[in-house]
Amino acid sequence: MGKLALVWGAAFALRLLYIFQSQRSPFYDFPLVDAKTYTQAAAAMALGHFGDQPFWQPPLYPYFLGALYALFEPSFTLPRLVQAALGATLCLLIFRLGRVFSPAVGYLAAGLAACYGPFIFFEAELLPPALALVLNLLALWALLWAVEGRPRRLLLPGFLFGLSALCVANVLAFVPVAALWLVWVRRGRLVWVAALLLGTALAIAPVTLRNYYVGGDWVLISYNAGLNFYIGNNAQYDETVAVQPGPAWLELTARPRVEAGVIQPSAQSDFFFAEAWDFIGQQPFAYLKLLLYKLYLFWHGDEIGRNQDLYFARQYAPLLQVLLWKCGVAFPFGLLAPLALVGLGLSYRNGLLRRPEPLLLALFAGAYMLTVVAFFISARYRLPVIPILLIFAAYGGRELYLLWRQGMYRDLLVGCGAAFLLAIACNFRVGTMNVEGDAHTHYRLGYVYEKKGLPINAVAAYEQALTLDPDIKWARFNLASLYARSGEYNRAIAAYGEFIRRFPEVARARLALGNVYLRTGRYAEAIAAYESLLSAKDADAADLYGRLGYAHAQLGQLDQAASAYEELVAAKPDSLQARLQLGELYEQLERLDAARAEYRQILAADSLHAAARYRLAHLLFFADQAEEAKAHLQQVIARAPDAVDARLLLATQYIVEHRAAPAMEQVQAILAVQPDHYQGNRLAGHLYMVLGDTLKGVEHLEQFTEYYREGRSAEIFEQLRKQWEEQLQGTVR
C-alpha cells in the first residue's frame, strides 16, 4: 500500500471515529440555522421542489445533499460519511499541491491535514466546507495543469472555480487574481484569461438564469451577500455578528422591507451594501480600526464559532479533545498560523515566490483571506485558507529542520524567533476553553431539547444559559413558556414578569402572561394584560377581544364581556363561533332580540349549524312563536337524532300543548340515548302518570330524584364555559 493510500485511510478512519463519537451530541440529528436551511432545501429538492425564488444562499451544497437524498433517503449520517471521504480526498489534493515545493512538503502537509481538528469537525457538519475545499483545490490543481497546455484547458479550472463559488461564493474574488497570474505566466496572452473566465461563467450562468426565470431578478448566485457584508461592516460589529437566529435575526433581515419597502431580492442585498458603505464613508477611521481588528481575529488561534461552539463539541467526542484545545495556546491554528507565516517568509527569501506554482498558492491564500476580512471572521469562513497554510507550514517546518541539519544556526535562530513572536501574537490572550459551553450554546441546547420533547433537559439548559447571561432574550421567554406548559404557573408568571421588565417592547410576552393569568383564574390581571396590548403594533385585536370576553364573563361582568365579543364579531364577522358566544351572552343579559338576530345570521351563513338553530328555537318559544320554534327543533333532530337537548325542548313544548303522545315519543328517544338523563326521567314520570301508567311514572320520578341529587344542572352555563374554553385554545373559526 502506497503512502498516499495510508494517508487517505488514516484520514478517513479519524473522520469515521469522530462521526461515531459525535452521535452522542443532541445536535447530531437536529440541524440548526444554516444546516437546517440546507437540509430542508435538500429534502424538498429530492422530491422535485426546487423553489420559486432566487437563491438566498449559494445552491450547490443543498443540491449535493438533495442528490444524496434522492439516490438513497434523507439521512443525517450518509452525508457525513460522504463528506468524510471528501475530507480524506482533500488530504491527497493537499499533497499534490504541496509537491510543488517538494514531495516531503506534500506528505507532511497531507499528514497534518489528516488530523487537523477543525477539518474533522466541519466535515461532520451538514455545511458546505467539505465540498467547497475539495473544489477549491481541484480548481488550483487544474489551473496548474492547464497552464502547461492549450488555452482551452483553462475552461476546466474556470468551471471548477465557478462550481466552488456556487458552494461558497468568496472564491469568486480569486478568479480575477488568477487571471492576472495567467497574464504574468503566459506573458500577456489574453486568450488564456478569456478561457478561464468563460469556464467560470459556464458554471454560474445556469444559476443566474434560473434566478431570473423564477424571480424576475438578476441575482448572480444568491442575495445574502449584502446582509453578510453589513454584518461585518457597521458601527456595532460585535452586536450584529452575535445576532442569533430567531426574532432578532428576522427583524434584521426584514429591515429592507420595513424601512424602505424593498421587496426584490437583489434590491434587499443592495440595501445592506448601501448601509455598510455609508458606515465606511462616514466613519473611515472606525472602519480602518475594524478592518485591523478583523485581520487580527483572522490570524488569532481561537476558533470563533458561527452558531456553533467547536470547543463545546469536545464534550461528545474524545478524539476532538486531542485535536482541538486551548490552554495558553490555541491548538491547532495557534501553532499553524505562525509556522505558515514563517514558511511564507522563507519561501520569499528562497525565491520560490518567483515560481508560478508557489506564487499561485500564496495569491490564493492572500485573496481569500481578504474576502473573509472584508466580511466577518469565523472558523468556518477561514477554513478554505487552511489547506494552503498547511502547505506553507510544512515548508516552513522542513526548512527550519534543514537549517538545523546544515548547521545554519544563525538563520535557524531568526526563523525560530520569528515563529515564537508570531505565536505570541496569534495566541495573545487566548485563555482557556469554556468546556461547559457559553450562554448561547446552552440556549441552542435548550431549544433542541425542547423541540425533541425533553422539557426537563430544556429547562435545565435554558436556566444555565440565563445563569451565564441573564439577557439572552429568547432563552428567558422559552423558559417561561416551558414553565407554563408544565403547569408551574407561579414560576411562569415570575419568569414572564422578569422578561417584561427586561424587554418591555416584546408584546407577545404580555400576551403569554395574560394567558397564564387566565388559565390560573386570575381574571382581573389577565384583563389588565390584554387591555395593555390593544394599542400595541401588530396586535391581534380579535384574539384579544375574545380572551377579554372570556375573562369578563368569568368575573360575572357580562356587559363588558358582551362589548368585547361585539368587537370580536366586528373584527371577524365570519366567525360563527364568536357570534354564537355573543348570542348566548345576550341571552344572559336578557337582550333576546339581539340574541335572536345573531342566531339568524349564523343560520344564514350555515344552515346546518345545530347549536344556533337550537338556541334560536329556545328564544322563539319565549316570543310566542312556537310553530317556527318547533320547525327549527325538528330540523336539528332530523340531522342529529341523538340531539338530546333539542328533543327535550320539543317534548316540553308538546306538554305545554297537552300533546302527551308526541311528547312521550321525544322523551323515550332521549332515554334511549341517555338513560340517566334526569330531566328526561322527570318528564317520563309525568307523562306516564298522565297516560295512566302510575307504576312506570313513579319509577321514572324516583330515577329523576336520584339523578338530580348527583348534581346534573347548570347546562347552559356549562355550554358557555366549554365554548369559551375552546376559544381560549384558539378554536374560534
Q: Could you give all domains of the chain from N- to C-terminal order, each with its CATH number?
A: 3-215 (no CATH), 641-733 (1.25.40.10)
* Amino acid 717: pLDDT: 46
pLDDT of residue 701: 66
Residue 731 phi, psi dihedral angles, 5° rounding: -100, 10
Euclidean distance between CA atoms 364 and 139, whole angstroms: 11
Question: Cα(361)–Cα(161) distance, rounded to whole angstroms?
Answer: 14
How many CB atoms sit inside 10 A of residue 558's CB?
A: 16
Query: Quick one: CA dihedral 110, 376, 245, 238, positive or negative?
Result: positive
Phi-psi region of 660 (alpha: psi -120 to 50; beta: other; left: phi over 0): alpha
Using the structure block, give the residue that is written with the C-alpha cell 487571471: 179
Put residue 538 in one of left, alpha, beta given phi > 0 → left and psi -120 to 50 → alpha: left
Residues 6+ apart with CB under 8 A from 659: none
- Checking DSSP bridges between strand 325-327 and strand 329-331, what pairing results, if any? antiparallel
- 45 grid coordinates: 429538492
Question: Which residue has cell 497570474?
Answer: 181
Q: What confidence score (pLDDT) does residue 650 get?
A: 81
Q: What is d(CA 609, CA 404) in angstroms, rounded to the nearest whole number?
A: 95
Question: Which strand (E) or helix (H) includes residue 327?
Answer: strand 325-327
Report whether 600 contacts 609 (CB < 8 A): no
Alpha helices in 375-522 (DSSP H): 379-382, 386-405, 409-426, 439-451, 455-468, 473-485, 489-502, 507-519
Give 198's Cβ-side CA count (13 Å radius). Answer: 11
Cβ-count burial 67-81 (b if 16+ within 10 Å, e if not): ebbeeeebeeeebbb
- Counting Cα atoms < 13 Å in the Cβ hemisphere of 112 gives 27
Q: How far is CA 44 from CA 65, 213, 251, in A?
A: 10, 19, 26
Q: Quick: pLDDT tens for 161-210.
A: 999 999 999 999 999 999 999 999 988 788 999 999 999 999 999 999 99
Q: At what angle do helices 409-426 and 386-405 cross, to 10 degrees?
A: 150
Shortest CA distance to 669 belongs to which of 699, 697, 698, 638? 638
The pTM for the full model equals: 0.84
Report the distance separating Cα 262 and Cα 253, nearest Å: 11
Decide: residue 514, CB within 10 A, 0-12 exposed, 13-18 middle, 19+ buried.
Answer: buried
Q: Which long-range contacts (CB under 8 A, 24 or more apart) does 597-602 make?
A: 598/569, 602/576
Exposure string of 658-677, with b = 16+ CB inside 10 Å and e = fewer, is eebeebbebbebbbeeeeeb
Give the whole-angstrom CA distance, residue 59 versus residue 123.
Answer: 18
- Please list the ranges in the chain whose pLDDT falls under 70: 1, 697, 700-733
Provide the Cα torsion 351, 353, 355, 356; round to 10°.
Answer: 180
Q: Residue 432: its pLDDT value, please?
A: 80
Nine-digit cell at 40?
430542508
3-state secondary structure (DSSP) of residue 709: helix
8 A C-beta contact, residue 372 and residue 385: yes
The CA distance from 162 to 67, in Å, is 19
pLDDT in tens, 684-698: 777 778 777 777 767
Q: What is the pLDDT of residue 696?
A: 76
Residue 329 main-chain phi, psi, to 5 deg: -120, 140
